[in-house]
A and B are shown apart, each in its own frame.
Chain A
Amino acid sequence: MFRTFYLSYLLRNAYKVNTFIYALKSIPGLRKLLPDKLYQSKVLKIFGNIISILLEIINIFLGKFLYLFLMIFCTISLYKTEISTTFLHVFFFLTIIGSFMNTYMFNPTKDKYYAMFIMRMNAKSYTLTDYFYAIFKIIIGFLPFTIVFGLLSNVNLWICLILPFFVVASKIVIASYNLHLYDKKGIIINENQPGKYINLLILLFLILAYALPALNIVVPSYLLLILMILMILISIKRIEYIINFNKYREMYKIVLTASNMNQVENANRMAKENVLKQITIDSNKTSNKKGFAYFNDLFVIRHSKLLWKNSKKVAGISAIIILIAFIIVTINPEFKMSINNMIMTYLPYFVFIMYLINRGENITRAMFMNSDHSMLTYSFFRKPEAILKLFKERLKSVILINLLPAIIIGFGLAILLLATGGTSNPLNYLILIISILAMSIFFSIHHLVIYYLLQPYNLNSETKNTTYTIVNLLTYIVCYYMIDLRLPTLYFGISMIIFAVAYSIISLILVYKFAPKTFKIRI
């Protein structure tokens, strides 16, 4: 038993240390400095080992601390119910959820796969040592914090001592029940993709945990305590089942399928299939254009689900929302002031809204996956004039498609402004409309330009460009920050328009200058 434990520890550690070195090497700039021999370096291995032990300690304690602090200790202070009972109440129900969502035993991880299938370790002894080590870690990890936060919440010390055992007991009971389910019916529960019923159950327990105390209802402590002790007693019996279970190897063969484990690759493949599914053919619709215009036209027609249909849907929803606002102010004139005020000062908020409804990023992804990913391997498609011709066609389409909802929103806001009492400066109407349109055009150009300048995908459609990710993240952060900005519509609108025009001109110059070089498949 000890040998199995030691071996599995070594294996997991080697895996972690190498992951650490790999991560170190993928930091831009460091890659060139660090040679491949790094994986052999003794010093780095020792360093990696220290890091891995530190991580293990953090892993044992940090999560439990955060969980108890944020999910329980902080939230129960919001309720008016008696604090120690509330603590136990929330703790009890969350623990039940945790035992479903986080069994440990049914979590498909790579180290389990490496140990049992690649290294061919004995599945049963590996699983048992691994599992009981995990259980041990949970107890050690929880104990200090159930004591600290428990005592701070006026819970009896000896109850605090019991709590970690209740956590592992419910995990053991659920895990052994899942094993039983596999043994008798061949059903495997994948905890990372819980089914409909489990999700409902989780939702129910979440409501029990957090909604009941809000209604001043908590389950009495003595009842919870009886249930916890009962759970611990049952679990002692169920440990026997886990130890005697003999089908670990065959069970893990199903749990550890490639699709469960390689979630990143899996997500990638699914994303690819989904984008491919966006292609629809309607034999009535075709194009009379020629060359690149023809190519782009057909792309737009065949991706109507992603493009026009989606844009019409957004436009429709926007129209309905504006109509509802219009009806509200007609029926209830006292809202007029506040809506008028809102339109006059909340324009920055619309940057975020326009960002959200712009489909630029999805459109460029579809462009890559369904078209450029293959076309860029043909030299005729990669000639500078070809790249720029198609860019022009695409720019027109993307702007047009995104402009439809923008027109509705722009004019809708202007009409709403008029209906809520108007403004002293008529220029506001114009600025409102133009700035919304400018935002829409800006985002359309922005997405297409960064796609052409930073073309981030490789042949497997994985994003290979950190700059692209960073630019996208920054765009999001800036737009999100706009939510809190309150500026008079007139000034903000004018600056937005100037910014959008300037950005568009500069970025288009950059594309014409650099895209012929940058627009290719990443190797």
Chain B
Amino acid sequence: MKLEVLNLKKKFGEKEVLKNINFTFESGKIYGLLGRNGAGKTTFFNCLNEDILPDEGTFNIVTESSRPLTIDDIGYVLSTPVVPEFLTGREFLKFFLEINEGKIKNEKTIDEYFDFMKIEEEDRDKLLKDYSHGMKNKMQMLINIIASPNILLLDEPLTSLDVVVAEEMKEILRSIKTEHILIFSTHIMDLALSLCDEIIILKDGNLTLVDKNLKGEKLKNKIMEILSEDK
């Protein structure tokens, strides 16, 4: 499966944030999306997620044939976790499983999912508003993993987690990548390098793929060079 982004353009006022993006993402890979502040990473995600309308451009899912991207294809994990505060963890999961009945592959029991996410038993029946930041994040990730959308957009999802949870999450992301396209936006280069299979850079409204034959310091230097060069 591939995700084709064709002629994506987006302007805010005079400012062309996304100039003309043409890029093909492939499943089985985690893409690390790097870019300086204000480069347009969030705008790019918002366009894919239909939160804002692009000025121009099409998104296609290509398997044997090609079809337009729909909202079902996308999961979006935000850096500030968002969960319905008035439900308990268990209720949220129950609700989610019920309305997606029949659509979930290898459905497990609620507690199995909690075990998988390493959410403690005593926390499962607490209101989500009383969950810690990390636990809310786990719930959000869990829902997105169960929904198993073709494309998972991740906006700095690990930065505010403690090291243990962050490692757990990385493991989980690696374990689901085979059947999905994961696009992971971050400011932390080391995180991108350790987790991602490809590094893409958003700069001056264009996406560039960084040559992955480079290794170690050379790769870092190349990324720095691309990020910091002037137009």
What is A's interface to B at a CB cutoff of 8 Å? 32, 35-36, 276, 279, 281, 290-292, 294-295, 298-299, 302-303, 370-371, 373-375, 377-380, 382-383, 386, 520-521, 523
Question: How far, in whole Å, are A462 and B206 apart by their CA atoms in the complex?
Answer: 32
Q: Please, what's the 1-or-0 string for B73-105, where 1 marks a CB less than 8 Å from any CB in chain A?
A: 011101000111111100100111011100000
Q: Which residues of A contact B149 (CB under 8 A)?
A: 379
Q: Which residues of A contact B74 (CB under 8 A)?
A: 379
Question: How far, in whole Å, are A371 and B84 apart by their CA atoms in the complex?
Answer: 5
Partner of B75 from A279, A298, A379, A523 at Cβ < 8 Å: A379
Q: Is the CB of B84 within 8 A of A370?
A: yes
Partner of B76 from A32, A303, A377, A520 at Cβ < 8 Å: A377
Known: A279-B86, A279-B129, A370-B85. A35 touches B13 (CB 8 A): yes
Nearest-neighbor residue (CB-CB) of A522 within chain B: B51
Task: Kindly list 16 other residue pairs between chains A and B, CB separation below 8 angstroms, not including A279-B127, A298-B86, A370-B85.
Answer: A36-B15, A279-B129, A281-B127, A291-B99, A292-B99, A294-B95, A294-B98, A295-B87, A295-B95, A298-B87, A370-B86, A370-B129, A375-B84, A379-B49, A380-B72, A523-B46
Partner of A276 from B52, B85, B96, B98 at Cβ < 8 Å: B85
Q: Which residues of A contact B15 (CB under 8 A)?
A: 36
B58 to chain A, nearest CB (A): 19
Asked if B217 is an interface residue, CB under 8 A from chain A, the answer is no
Q: Please, what's the 1-or-0 string for B136-154, where 1 marks a CB less than 8 Å from any CB in chain A?
A: 0000000110010100000
Nearest-neighbor residue (CB-CB) of A286 within chain B: B91
Q: Is the CB of B87 within 8 A of A379?
A: no
Q: Is the CB of B85 within 8 A of A279?
A: yes
Asked if B71 is an interface residue, CB under 8 A from chain A, the answer is yes
What's the interface size class on B, roughly?
20 to 34
Q: Please, what's the 1-or-0 string for B45-81, where 1 marks a CB less than 8 Å from any CB in chain A?
A: 0100111100000000000000000011011101000
Nearest-neighbor residue (CB-CB) of B42 within chain A: A523
Nearest-neighbor residue (CB-CB) of B72 within chain A: A379
Q: Is the CB of A378 within 8 A of B86?
A: no
A381 to chain B, nearest CB (A): 9
Q: Which residues of B contact A380 (CB under 8 A)?
A: 72, 96, 99-100, 147
Can you list 12 contacts pairing A with B, beta carbon distance less than 8 Å? A35-B14, A294-B91, A298-B91, A302-B86, A370-B84, A371-B85, A377-B76, A378-B75, A379-B149, A380-B99, A380-B147, A386-B99
Q: Is the CB of A520 within 8 A of B99?
A: no
Question: How far, in whole Å, are A383 and B149 apart by their CA atoms in the complex?
Answer: 14
Question: How far, in whole Å, are A298 and B86 apart by their CA atoms in the complex?
Answer: 8
Q: Which residues of A contact B51 (CB under 8 A)?
A: 520-521, 523
Question: How far, in whole Å, are A380 and B96 apart by their CA atoms in the complex?
Answer: 9
A339 to chain B, nearest CB (A): 44
Q: Which residues of A contact B78 (CB under 8 A)?
A: 377
A32 to chain B, nearest CB (A): 8
Q: Which residues of A contact B71 (CB under 8 A)?
A: 379, 382-383
Known: A298-B91, A377-B76. A290 touches B84 (CB 8 A): no
Q: Which residues of B contact A303 (CB under 8 A)?
A: 86
Q: Which residues of B contact A281 (CB under 8 A)?
A: 88, 127
Question: How far, in whole Å, are A383 and B50 apart by their CA atoms in the complex?
Answer: 12
Can you list the 8 inter-chain pairs with the closest CB atoms, starting with the nearest?
A374-B82, A302-B86, A291-B98, A291-B99, A279-B86, A379-B71, A371-B84, A295-B95
Known: A279-B129, A291-B99, A379-B49. A374 touches B85 (CB 8 A): yes
Partner of B86 from A36, A371, A377, A386 at Cβ < 8 Å: A371
A292, A299, A377, most chain B CB atoms within 10 A: A377
Q: Is the CB of A291 within 8 A of B147?
A: no
A422 to chain B, nearest CB (A): 48
Nearest-neighbor residue (CB-CB) of B146 within chain A: A380
B170 to chain A, nearest CB (A): 22
B20 to chain A, nearest CB (A): 22
Nearest-neighbor residue (CB-CB) of A371 within chain B: B84
Q: Which residues of B contact A373 (CB under 8 A)?
A: 82
Q: Is the CB of B52 within 8 A of A523?
A: yes
Question: How far, in whole Å, are A374 and B98 apart by their CA atoms in the complex?
Answer: 19
Q: Which residues of A contact B144 (CB under 8 A)?
A: 378
